[in-house]
Chains A and B, each alone.
Chain A
Amino acid sequence: MLSIFLNKIFSLNFANLLNAIGLDFEILSSYTFIVVCLGTMILATVAGMVGTITVLKGQSLIGDAIGHSSYPGIILAFMISMSLDSVSLMIGAIISGTLAFIIIQFIDKNSKLNLDAILATILSAFFGLGMVLKSFIQGHPVYGKVPQGGLSNYIFGQAAFIRTIDVHLILIVAIPSLLILFLFYKEFKIFVFDEVYAQSIGLNSTLMYVLLVLITMSVIATGLKLVGAILISSFLIVPGITALQWSNRFSYVLIIAAIVGSFSAFVGTYISSVYAGMSTGPCIIVVMSGLAFISMFISPKGLLANWLRRRKYLNDLSKSLID
Chain B
Amino acid sequence: MIYQNLLLTKMLDFLNYNQQMLLTLIVTGIACSLLGCFLVLNKLSMLTDALSHSILLGIVLAYFVTKNLNSPFLLIGASVFGVFTVYAIGLLSKTRLVKNDDAVGIIFPLFFSLAVILISTFARNVHLDTDIVLMGQVIMIPLNTMTVFGVELPKALFYMLIILLINLIFVVVFIKELKISSFDPEFATLAGFSSGLLFYGLMTLTSFTAVAAFDAVGAILVIALFVGPAASAYMLTKSLKKMLLVSIIFSILNSISGFYLAIAFNVSISGMIAVTTGFTTFMTVLLNRQGIITAIYLRHKNRKEFRLDLLIMHLGNHEDQEDAEFELGFATIKDHLYWDQETTERRLNRLIDQGFVHRNHERKIYCLTEKGRLRYDMIKVDYGV
B231 interfacial by beta-carbon distance below 8 Å: yes
Q: State A136–B114 Cα separation when bound (angstroms).
A: 31
Q: How many inter-chain residue pairs (CB < 8 Å) link A and B?
A: 208
CB distance from B65 to the nearest CB of A (A): 21
Q: A111-B290, A128-B274, A279-B120 are in contact. Are A116 and B113 (CB under 8 A)?
A: no
Task: Collect the chain A residues with CB atoms within 8 Å of residue B223's CB.
Answer: 120, 123-124
Can you list 24 contacts pairing A with B, beta carbon distance less than 8 Å?
A60-B105, A64-B49, A64-B105, A103-B282, A110-B285, A111-B285, A116-B43, A117-B231, A117-B234, A118-B231, A120-B227, A124-B227, A124-B228, A125-B275, A128-B220, A131-B220, A132-B262, A134-B268, A230-B53, A230-B109, A231-B109, A282-B113, A296-B98, A303-B97
Q: Which of B44, B95, B262, B281 contacts A121 (CB 8 A)?
A: B281
Query: Is B98 in contact with A135, judged by CB distance below 8 angstroms?
Result: no
* B135 contacts across to A, CB distance below 8 A: 131
Interfacial chain B residues near A275, Cβ < 8 Å: 121
Q: Are B274 and A124 in contact (CB under 8 A)?
A: yes
**Chain A residues with CB below 8 A from B46, complex form:** 61, 64, 116, 119-120
**A220-257 CB contact bits vs B (8 Å, 1 = yes)?**
00000000001101100110010011000000000000
Given A124-B224, A128-B221, A128-B273, is A292 in contact with B116 using a C-beta cutoff of 8 Å? no
Chain A, residue nearest B258 (CB):
A128
Q: Among A5-13, A81-89, A205-213, A283-291, which stretch is in contact with chain B? A: A283-291
CB-based contact B117/A61 at 8 Å: no
**Beyond the given A64-B105, A124-B224, A127-B271, could you list 19 further A-B residue pairs with CB under 8 A, ordered by the A residue number?**
A58-B101, A110-B286, A110-B292, A121-B45, A124-B274, A127-B274, A131-B271, A131-B274, A135-B266, A136-B266, A155-B131, A230-B53, A233-B105, A238-B105, A285-B110, A289-B109, A296-B95, A301-B97, A302-B97
Q: Do residues A155 and B267 form an inter-chain contact, with CB atoms below 8 A?
A: no
Question: B-facing mask of A261-294, CB < 8 A → 1, else 0?
Answer: 0000000000000010111011101100100100
Any chain B CB within 8 A of the CB of A55?
Answer: yes
8 Å CB interface, B256-314 against A:
262, 265-268, 270-275, 277-279, 281-282, 285-286, 288, 290-292
What are the interface flags for A190-228 relative to B under an 8 Å C-beta threshold, 1 for contact and 0 otherwise? 000000000000000000000000000000000000000
* Chief secondary structure at chain A's binding surface: helix
Tell me, rounded to whole Å, the shortest Cβ–Cβ distance linking A258 to chain B: 18
- The distance from the CB of B217 to the nearest CB of chain A, in whole angstroms, is 11
In the bound complex, what is the Cα–Cα distance between A156 and B277 (angstroms)? 24
Kindly state the interface size class of chain B when it binds its partner: 35 or more
A264 to B231, CA, bound (A): 38
- In the complex, A321 has a CB within 8 A of chain B: no
Closest 3 pairs (CB-CB, A-B): A125-B278, A128-B274, A131-B271
Chain A residues closer than 8 Å to B221, beta-carbon distance: 124, 128
Contact assessment for B224 and A128 in the assembled complex, using a CB-CB cutoff below 8 Å: yes
- Chain A residue numbers with a CB within 8 Å of B272 are 128, 132
Q: How far is the CA of A124 from the CA of B278 in the complex (A)?
A: 8
Known A111-B288, A125-B277: A289·B220 in contact at CB below 8 Å: no
Answer yes or no: A129 CB below 8 A from chain B CBs.
Answer: yes
Name the residue of chain A whose CB is nearest to the CB of B135: A131
Interface residue ranges, B against A (CB under 8 Å): 40, 43-46, 48-49, 53, 95, 97-99, 101-102, 104-106, 109-110, 112-114, 116-117, 120-121, 124, 130-131, 134-135, 220-221, 223-224, 226-228, 230-231, 234-235, 262, 265-268, 270-275, 277-279, 281-282, 285-286, 288, 290-292
Centre residue among B112, B131, B227 by max chain A CB count within 10 A: B227
What is the bound-complex CA distance between A303 and B228, given in angstroms?
Answer: 38
How many chain A residues sit at the interface, stated as a range, is 35 or more
Contact of A117 with B224 at beta-carbon distance under 8 Å, contacts A128-B274, A237-B106, A241-B102 already known: no
Interface centre among B45, B98, B109 (most CB of A within 10 A): B109
Closest to A137 in B: B267
Q: Mark A150-178, 1 if CB is under 8 A from B, else 0.
A: 00100110000000000000000000000
CA A130 to CA B120, docked complex, whole Å: 24
Judge if A78 is at the interface, Cβ distance under 8 Å.
no
A301 to chain B, nearest CB (A): 7
Q: Which residues of B contact A135 (CB under 8 A)?
A: 266-268, 271
Tell me, yes or no, whether A122 is within 8 Å of chain B by CB: yes
* A61 near B48: Cβ-Cβ < 8 Å: no
Picked from B45, B97, B275, B288, the residue with its CB within 8 Å of the CB of A245 is B97
